[in-house]
Amino acid sequence: MKEIFNSFSNVSVAAASLAQVHKATLLNGEKVAVKVQRPGINRMIETDLEIMFHLATMMEKHIPEMRSYSIVKIVEEYESSIRKELNFANEASNLEQFGANFQKDTNIYVPQCYRDYTTKKILTLEYIDGIKFSDIDDNNTKEFDPKIIADRGADSILKQIFEYGFFHADPHPGNLLILPDNVICFLDYGMMGTLTQNTRQLISIILIGAINRDAEKIVRGVLRLCEADGEVNVLKLELQVTELINRYFYVSLEQMDIPAILDDMLSFFPDNNLKIPSDLYLLGRALILFQGDGEKLDPDFNVAKYVEPYATRIIKDRLHIRKLANNIYFSTEELLQLISDLPYETREILEKVKNGK
């Protein structure tokens, strides 16, 4: 310890279920935050996973209604996620990728990672002295502007999702610090989501369909985005989406209830034999969390009003003539994507031909 740190506080400045954070000083005088994995946490996680797998298997075996929810698959995905979080070297890589994405953005600050002092169980970062997101109130509005912070936060989240396809999946108030000049600093890069370019395009199509109240377009996007686990009743799904539109979308963007919409939409998938990619759950979680964050800063905040420009840009970029020219040799999969506006039945026939059916 003395070979690395000039001082190390035994009292943690932050604590969570997997780790706790201590303030320390390197030999060169730099202040750092040292995230230390809790002793015995791996053993506890293994026990928890064993119990979860047992319960999930029993539920799918004895409760027919639960099979469409793929409970075992959800536990498997949780296992993969938690194992990544337990390896702090992964978190260091996530932080560095996130930092590279935002290196030219003066509104977002990403702490420096000290790789020489980072292992699977210890993560050493630049110590950031800021105001907690949850502590922004009327007492410090002279120093900070809540509406600017909410605006920059929404812009950042949507850049992560639509431009970079790599997003912070746990942006709760404890993982956000506010620095001078309303600069936002994200903390804790253990839970991140990844979206391929194709997934981002499909999400954009669904969102534009939602904004335009186009149930058919939403359903087309959903069917291409999700894996079918049995027969899909397209008419039933389209009716459910139409009912969702009638319930939520005849208001202004600022008034849309994003958490409720996402919650209802996610319930459609298992009901229609559709499996949701795990990162879409993380995406929904991130948007719901940040909607809550924004409302604390600005009562009129709604992340929905920020979505349309990003989604529209993704679709326009997809159809840019130079992009098409640079990708003249399309795979069958990409060719099917380009004819996404054909009726679903036609696309279904083409996909069956592609698969030799």
> Catalytic residues, which ones?
170
Stretch (H or E) spanning 12? strand 5-15
Stretch (H or E) spanning 23? strand 19-26
DSSP label at residue 283: H
Confirm if 82 and 16 have CB atoms less than 8 A apart: no
**CB-based contacts of 101, cutoff 8 Å, min separation 6:** 159, 160, 164, 166
Confirm if 188 and 111 have CB atoms less than 8 A apart: no
Confirm if 295 and 254 have CB atoms less than 8 A apart: no
Max distance between CA atoms of the chain, in angstroms, equals 69
Compute the distance between CA of residue 193 and CA of residue 169 in angstroms, rounded to an integer.
6
Name the residue type at position 195: L
Residue where the block lists tokens 């149930």 = 215
39: burial class by Cβ within 10 Å (0-12, 13-18, 19+)? exposed
